[in-house]
Amino acid sequence: MAYAWCFLLFMTGLYCAVVKKNMVKIVLGIIIMEYAVNIFLIMLGYRIGGVAPIVGKGELAGIDKVTSAFVNNCVDPLPQALVLTSIVISLGSLALMIALCIRTYERYGTFDITEIRRLRG
Amino acid sequence: MELFIFYALMAFVLIAAFIAVETRNLLSAVICVGAIGFGGSLIFLFLKAPDIAMTQIVVEVLGLVILIRATISRDLTFISGDREFFGMVVSVVILFAIFMAGIGIFRQLPDFGTAVYTRTPEAASQTYVSRGLEETGASNIVTSVILDFRAYDTLGEATVLFASIIGATAILRKKAKKLPEDLDE
Amino acid sequence: MAANSSPSNGAKGMTVIVKTISSWVKMLIFLFGIYIIITGHLTPGGGFAGGVIIAGSYVLLMLAFGREFVEENLPLRWASRFDCIGALLFALVAVLGLILGGSFFVNWLFRQQILPSKALELVSAGTIPLSNIFIGIKVGASLFLIILVLSMFRPAHLRGEKE
């Protein structure tokens, strides 16, 4: 159910990127796809009733050990680490795509990709 | 109750996505994408990922600034309509086929709420959770994964960010380089 | 930049209310970013989130006071220098691991017990807080640089070179 929801969100973004003819709309579709993939990766590591992967005072056993309750309840930290880098990278790629859009608008005076295709022949 | 709020958030994000795709005003679409981002960060909080939620919120603010910079004070913000009819029908049919094939794949995944890494006893995440504090001394396991166990990821991330800045700076130079056919005009 | 480019607002930046509030809030946001960075190994946060928050404080100033005000405080070349310095220092920590610890990116400060390391204290975890600080500098400078470059670009119909 939740995975299928992620897939539906991904398909919405893909529809937007494929069908629309406004350049900024295509960028928005790519952003929606990024959100869907990030949420799906986090969902793969979730367990019901889990705790966040951050050790507090209550989870310490001894000096450097964590309690077994923490180990048995912790959600997966690996997808979180991967998604954390992915989010910052998506901001950089968003800036790059927007720079392309602005430059194209200045060159052709429109965001419409079919118009641009017609102008260039 | 918690699960109900979670499903309500998911419905909110999906509705915002539909509006962002189908609205005609470009500024409204950008604001709806912002709504998707903030709803997504709340979903991350429910999925017990506070690092991701914090990063998502601040990144969303900066991303909205960039997007509004692109869309405001442009004349042509009302491009309506889709591409030509035949191409649209073909692409929608292909998308529907991909969707039906994907739904079949999702049945084979484990249920929502059982972490996938618990099914394999030798998974890397088992080591990260049980020995992360012992081997790195950081109590935030996500940070210990980012900066100690898998620091090469962070190095690659810094490289990609650097490359994207160089790309954006090169695209937005003050004087655009003239194309060869422009010199003839 | 949004306020600058609208023709109805002739003065630089936004209104007095926005300027006053943002001059109060800017240091709080900056301090919060620094706090998020230096406690990144204990609480949620870290170099990425803190760096983006620091970039956000400069972007707030840029939106409220106009681009020229920010460029006097943090010019473009200094932002790019901070970017390179952060990346180089992060790589330097990794190379020091190669020299002192035996392999690239090894946590040499923690493995050799140079500093007193006790769990849940600020000075712990070896090179992780150092790497967090450098990543924070790098991410903050580079994101600020992107938005500065995007706002410096003036399209032709606003520069007055209309064909």
The whole-angstrom distance between C124's CA and the closest CA on chain B is 6
Residue B147 falls inside a structural domain? yes
User: Are residues B6 and B67 both part of a single domain?
Assistant: yes
The whole-angstrom separation of Cα B159 and Cα C25 is: 32
Question: What is the model's pLDDT at position B80?
Answer: 58
Q: Which of A49, A93, A74 lies closest to B144 in space, CA to CA?
A: A74
Instruction: Indicate yes or no: CB of B138 within 8 angstroms of CB of C142.
Output: no
Confidence grade of residue C83 (pLDDT, cut at 50, 70, 90): confident
Containing structural domain, residue B156: 117-173
Instruction: Indicate yes or no: CB of B59 within 8 angstroms of CB of C52.
Output: yes
Instruction: Indicate yes or no: CB of C155 within 8 angstroms of CB of A102.
Output: yes
> How confident is the prediction for chain C on average, in pLDDT?
79
Of all residues in chain C, what percent carry a pLDDT higher than 70?
Answer: 83
Q: Which two tokens stand for residue C6?
A: 């609208």
Q: A84-119, pLDDT tens digit by residue?
A: 889 988 988 898 988 888 888 877 777 777 777 776
Of B74, B100, B127, which residue constitutes the final position of a domain? B74
C22 in contact with chain B, both atoms CB, cutoff 8 A: no
Give yes or no for residue B83 having a pLDDT over 70: no
Give yes or no for residue C9 having a pLDDT over 50: no
**Contact residues of C toward A, CB < 8 A:** 43-44, 46, 48, 52, 118-120, 139, 142-143, 146-147, 149-150, 153, 155-156
Nearest residue in C to B61, CA atom: C56
Residue B61 falls inside a structural domain? yes
Q: Which chains touch B (3 or more CB pairs under 8 A)?
A: A, C
Residue B130 falls inside a structural domain? yes
CB A36 within 8 A of CB A13: yes
Q: Does residue C2 or residue C142 have the better pLDDT?
A: C142
Q: Which two tokens stand for residue A31?
A: 């952003």
Distances (CA, A) of C49 to B138, B150, B173, C119: 17, 18, 29, 23
Per the listing, tokens 């919405």 go with A12
Which of A54, A60, A99 is opposite residue C150, by nearest beta carbon? A99
Q: B11-63, pLDDT tens digit by residue?
A: 999 999 999 888 888 888 889 999 999 999 999 988 888 889 998 998 898 88
Question: What is the model's pLDDT at position C8?
Answer: 38
User: Are residues B70 and B125 both part of a single domain?
Assistant: no
> How confident is the prediction for chain B on average, in pLDDT?
81
Residue B136 falls inside a structural domain? yes
CATH numbers and ranges of domains, chain A: 2-46+58-120 (1.10.287.3510)
Which of B68, B133, B135 is opposite residue C2, by nearest beta carbon? B68
The whole-angstrom separation of Cα C156 and Cα C29 is: 35
Residue B101 falls inside a structural domain? no
ipTM above 0.90, yes or no: no
> Of the segments A72-81, B31-40, B115-124, B151-160, which one has the largest average pLDDT value?
B31-40
Report the greatest alpha carbon distance in chain A: 73
The whole-angstrom separation of Cα C131 and Cα B153 is: 13
Residue B112 falls inside a structural domain? no
Confidence grade of residue B180 (pLDDT, cut at 50, 70, 90): low
User: Are residues B127 and B64 both part of a single domain?
Assistant: no
Q: A74-85, pLDDT tens digit by residue?
A: 888 888 888 988
Of B74, B108, B130, which residue constitutes the final position of a domain? B74
Question: What is the model's pLDDT at position C5?
Answer: 43
Q: Does residue C140 or residue C111 have the better pLDDT?
A: C140
The whole-angstrom distance between B143's CA and the closest CA on chain A is 7
Confidence grade of residue B79 (pLDDT, cut at 50, 70, 90): low
- Count of structural domains, chain B: 2
